[in-house]
Amino acid sequence: MTQITLHPSADLTLALTARQADGTLLASLTPPATTLALAPTISGTLFLQVTPTLRPSAAVASYDLAVQQVLPPPPPPPAPADPALAPDALEDNWSPAHAAPIAVGVIYDLTFVCPVAGGCPGGDHDYLRVTVKAGLTYRLATFDLGPGTDTVLDLFWGDEHVPVAHNDDAFPGFSLHSLLTWTAPSDGEAVIRLAPRTGALQPIVTDADAGRYRFAITLAESSLGREIRARSEAQSGRPPTPTPPPLPSRPVSPAPAPVAPPAAAPAAAPPAPTAAPPSTDAPTGAALVITEASDLHEGPRGSSAVLTSLPEGHHVTLLGQASGVWVRVQPHDLVMPGWMRGTDLRMLEAAPLPDAPAEGLPPSSEEAGASPASAGSRATATAVPSSLRVQAIQVVPLEPLPVARPAPPPARSSRSVTVSLRRAPTAANLPAAMRTTDPQGLPLSGVRVQVLNAFDDLLAEAVTPADGTLVFTREVDPEHAWRLRIPALGMHVEIDQAVLIIEVPATGDE
């Protein structure tokens, strides 16, 4: 949505109208309102007319005009007569090879409705593909969840079977939506998978909006990225992260006052306490905010004016000045520098400090070996009393201590396991399409299978192909145990053999 905001001076009252290029009136704003929001469907060139409704009393009156893009409000609940939820517009994107291409900074309305009846035994998995740039930090988020919706977010880079980042709940204990912050290591394409946490076991929710959610990938520090994080916090019930104060109204310059005759100087008052004089030997380089929020002050003391509040993870540049616990910094997205508490920051990289000789130490060997002419050009030699002369020190080499060699690590070996998913042989009273005489049953495709170690760390995962059989091979330590997890079936068991054939019972209502 396009939002237009006026910030007039104190003695100025304004009205505003927005028109299209052909003169069609879109909306108007009258005092005391100062904000106008246009529908998301309005695009193209807009003409804004700002008119004062009262003659200002001051000779000079001014105002600020801000035009920005904001998130649309959450979708309203569906009417009772609405039809059942349909598959989203990006289907059929059920695998990395069929991933739907999306853009950065765009909000997508999606659902977990399978586009093929009976074709998603593991639940509807939405795969998306997006182009990213090296060094940029992105924020991936699901929000505005429908009733009963619980999302799981996975990010793949290079290997389309092992995710490099994963999130189930953005704020554990507060919400069911997902949130990831990730920095692209190089230019390329990232693959995103959005899946229902419940797999194919859809909860019974008497609401036509069940299974709906919104997704967006944005630049982490963009206005849209911050607004999405704020909405996630609001929908979770978690206290929001402090944000910078709104744009203040520009003060009006008063007319110069007549000069009064000088008055007698009052008695001198005791000086107010001031901060320690800034030093110039503080480190320089990049730093990161490590607290939930840290204020940027105008001066090096807590009582000075607060310019803004920087959230956790914000990047700043140290300017080499310090005063007590305060350091002078330059935020990467602001024009004005300021002062912050050094305890709220962590160094990312530091510039080397110049080497300086230590006081009271004898000159270096190079200086000691200088010629008399050069030495005489620098200083006049002074005799040292014999009582202050340092006696020569004799260094005696010692035999080195034996070094204990660590035990060699256990040799790693290649281990493979074959997993085959099949529908169990069915009874004769089932529909003809589900009957089989094969003693091994029908293969199950499209089901996500995961291999974990003893600590439940993901080693590999894949989706079963048409024949329902997967082969996993990894280099592991021989004493480490493997586990098998199939989220759609709620299965989590130890792997104690090289071949596993899993039969899924079939029922007549599948």
40 domain residue, yes or no:
yes
What separation in angstroms does the CA of 174 have from each of 170, 177, 321, 332? 8, 9, 41, 32
Residue (of 413, 417, 416, 418) closest to 475 by Cα position: 413
Q: Please, which contacts does 167-173 make with residues 24 or more away whose CB atoms are closer than 8 Å?
A: 168/197, 170/141, 170/232, 170/236, 171/232, 171/233, 171/236, 171/238
- Do 59 and 101 sit in the same domain of this protein? no
149 domain residue, yes or no:
yes
The domain that holds 126 is classified in CATH as 2.60.120.380
Q: How far apart are CA 15 and CA 254, in angstroms?
A: 24
Q: How far apart are CA 41 and CA 36, in angstroms?
A: 15
- Do 104 and 212 sit in the same domain of this protein? yes
- Do 104 and 145 sit in the same domain of this protein? yes
Helix (H) or strand (E) holding 378: helix 372-378
The domain that holds 345 is classified in CATH as 2.30.30.40
Q: How far apart are CA 208 and CA 38, in angstroms?
A: 28
- Give the model's pLDDT for residue 370: 42
- Give the model's pLDDT for residue 115: 82
- Give the model's pLDDT for residue 215: 94
- Give the model's pLDDT for residue 250: 47
426 domain residue, yes or no:
yes
Domain span at residue 130? 96-236
Q: How far apart are CA 345 and CA 350, in angstroms?
A: 13
Number of domain units in the chain: 4
334 domain residue, yes or no:
yes
- Give the model's pLDDT for residue 133: 94
Contacts of 364 (CB under 8 A, 6+ apart): 357
- Give the model's pLDDT for residue 161: 83
Q: What is the pLDDT of residues 459-508, one digit of tens each?
A: 888 899 988 899 988 877 766 788 889 988 888 888 888 888 888 876 54
- Do 232 and 102 sit in the same domain of this protein? yes
Residue (of 182, 157, 145) closest to 167 by Cα position: 182
- Give the model's pLDDT for residue 426: 56
272 domain residue, yes or no:
no
Contacts of 430 (CB under 8 A, 6+ apart): 506, 508
- Do 64 and 129 sit in the same domain of this protein? no
Residue (of 411, 407, 406, 408) closest to 478 by Cα position: 411
117 domain residue, yes or no:
yes
- Do 65 and 100 sit in the same domain of this protein? no
pLDDT in tens, the chain (510 residues): 888 998 888 778 888 899 988 888 888 888 878 888 888 888 888 899 998 877 666 667 788 899 988 887 777 665 444 456 788 888 888 889 889 999 999 999 998 888 887 777 777 889 999 999 999 999 999 998 888 788 899 999 988 888 999 988 888 878 888 999 999 999 999 999 998 877 656 666 766 667 788 999 999 989 898 988 888 888 877 665 555 555 454 444 454 555 555 555 555 444 444 555 677 778 888 898 998 889 999 888 888 888 888 998 888 999 888 988 899 999 988 888 999 998 899 888 644 444 444 444 444 444 444 444 444 434 444 455 554 455 567 788 888 888 777 777 666 677 888 999 888 765 454 555 555 555 567 888 889 999 988 788 888 888 999 888 999 888 777 667 888 899 888 888 888 888 888 888 765 444
- Do 31 and 127 sit in the same domain of this protein? no
DSSP 3-state assignment of 392?
coil
246 domain residue, yes or no:
no
- Do 65 and 106 sit in the same domain of this protein? no
- Do 62 and 112 sit in the same domain of this protein? no
Q: How far apart are CA 302 and CA 344, in angstroms?
A: 13
Q: What is the pLDDT of residues 404-423, one digit of tens each?
A: 777 776 666 778 889 998 88
- Do 230 and 337 sit in the same domain of this protein? no
80 domain residue, yes or no:
no
The answer to whether the bond into 207 is cis (omega within 30° of 0) is no
- Give the model's pLDDT for residue 134: 93
DSSP 3-state assignment of 361?
coil
- Give the model's pLDDT for residue 371: 43
- Give the model's pLDDT for residue 438: 56
- Do 52 and 102 sit in the same domain of this protein? no
- Do 59 and 24 sit in the same domain of this protein? yes
The domain that holds 477 is classified in CATH as 2.60.40
